[in-house]
Amino acid sequence: MDTTAQRERWLAAIAAAADQAALAELDARLFGAKGEVLELVRSVTTLPKEQRPTFGKAANAVKQDVEQALAARREQFAQQSLQRELSASDFDPTEPGRSRPRGALHPITIVQNELVDLFTSLGFQWQDGPEVESEYFNFDALNIPGDHPARESQDTFWLTEQPGLGKNLLRTHTSPVQVRTLQRVVKQGFQPPLKVIVPGRCFRSETVDKSHEHTFYQMEGLVVDRVHGDQGISTANLIHTMKTCLRVILERDLQVRLRPGFFPFVEPGFELDVNCPFCSGKGCSVCKQSGWIEVLPCGMVHPNVLRQGGLDPEEYTGFAFGMGLQRVVMLRYGIDDIRQFMGGDMRFLQQFPEVSR
């Protein structure tokens, strides 16, 4: 069998291929399931044993030559195609390539992640809860009476009725997770202490302005421990935790004040404010001319909330706080309008660190 003649015939056919389509058709004819080149290689098994080594070597050499010729011809067609594109009148080789900018984390996400890292380093665990909440967990279990103003329609987005638990609503705070977590850990055989944080989205029917939004983010914190003798979780523990948090996350020391505040789910309750960094306490539109910005309500967990969670308030004490993440982010980055966070303005978002690849 004359392999040389076949080799020359195949190489000539490759050289004569007019375009890439013709070359692809020829490739299939030569190297398809029943391709001519492959049939030549397979035919070595039909020869006498003494002829097989010499013929097999020659057939493989032909196969390699044909493959190299096909590859070279493909590259030739690719180069020709490239040259046609380069010579086209609408192609400008000096034009910059397409920009592929990387995304950036939202500033709320940045601060939330840092807070989660901070609190987990202090022994807290991350918990979560539903954004569509029941009236029971959002109000009743948190010692909020039926005539409390927070239940009025101007503050709450009410949804549908839920048999046995009252109406559904979009949660107005992350505090319902306090009772949900307590009920779960008590059912599982609670071993104190309990330290949890709950970052999440909340909703209130607010009039939107520079310092209020209908959709906002909170980070709830809860610490509960057993009373040992006459010692338990105290207000001092709460103040120390809050000052540590603000000092780390705001990356500077700000003057703070703790003033009495009424919240049905804590007793005593406090409002923790920081000196307004935009006016240095002189009074501006951000702080409503007060010189102070409310950052978080906090206090000692009300005995009724501990009971709803399944704990005896004679044996356990704890503190809770609800940090407004937008307020913290505004203080951190000097943002004077809370509406920027949901405005969708790319110029605002592009100021923050890019996501690493």
| pLDDT tens digit sequence for 10-20 | 888 888 888 88
Residue 57 CA to residue 63 CA, distance in Å, equals 10
| Three-class SS state of 194 | strand
Dihedral class, residue 218 (left if φ above 0, else alpha if ψ from -120 to 50, else beta): beta
Look up residue 316 and give its DSSP letter: E
Single-letter amino acid, residue 94 = T
| Band of pLDDT at residue 173, cut at 50, 70 and 90 | very high
According to the model, what pLDDT value does residue 356 have? Answer: 44
Confidence grade of residue 224 (pLDDT, cut at 50, 70, 90): very high
pLDDT score for 33: 82
pLDDT digits (tens, 9 = 90+) for 194-211: 999 999 999 998 888 887
CATH no. of 107-349: 3.30.930.10
User: Which is nearest to 17 in space by CA: 85, 72, 84, 59?
Assistant: 72
* C-alpha to C-alpha distances, 272 to 91, 185, 256, 304, 308, nearest whole angstrom: 63, 29, 7, 23, 26
163 against 343, higher pLDDT: 343
Better-predicted residue by pLDDT, 232 or 214: 214
**Which tens digits make up the pLDDT trace of 294-325?**
888 899 999 999 999 999 999 999 999 998 89
pLDDT of residue 200: 93
Residue 94: CB atoms within 10 A of its CB come to 4
pLDDT of residue 145: 82
Q: pTM for the full model?
A: 0.66
Average pLDDT over residues 169-176: 92
Strands (E), 112-227: 125-126, 132-134, 158-162, 166-170, 194-203, 215-226
- The pLDDT mean for the chain works out to 86
Query: In the prediction, which pLDDT does 357 show?
Result: 39
Give the residue extent of every domain in the chain.
Answer: 3-87, 107-349
| Residue showing tokens 């939202």 | 106
Cα dihedral sign for 284, 290, 292, 296?
negative
pLDDT tens sequence across 131-167 = 999 989 999 999 988 887 767 766 888 887 766 656 8
How does DSSP classify residue 104? B
DSSP 92: -
CA–CA dist 158, 151 (Å, integer): 9
* pLDDT tens-digit series, residues 240-259: 888 888 888 777 777 788 88
> 318 or 330: which carries more pLDDT confidence?
318
- Pairing verdict, β 194-203 and 125-126: parallel
Decide if pLDDT at 43 tops 90.
no
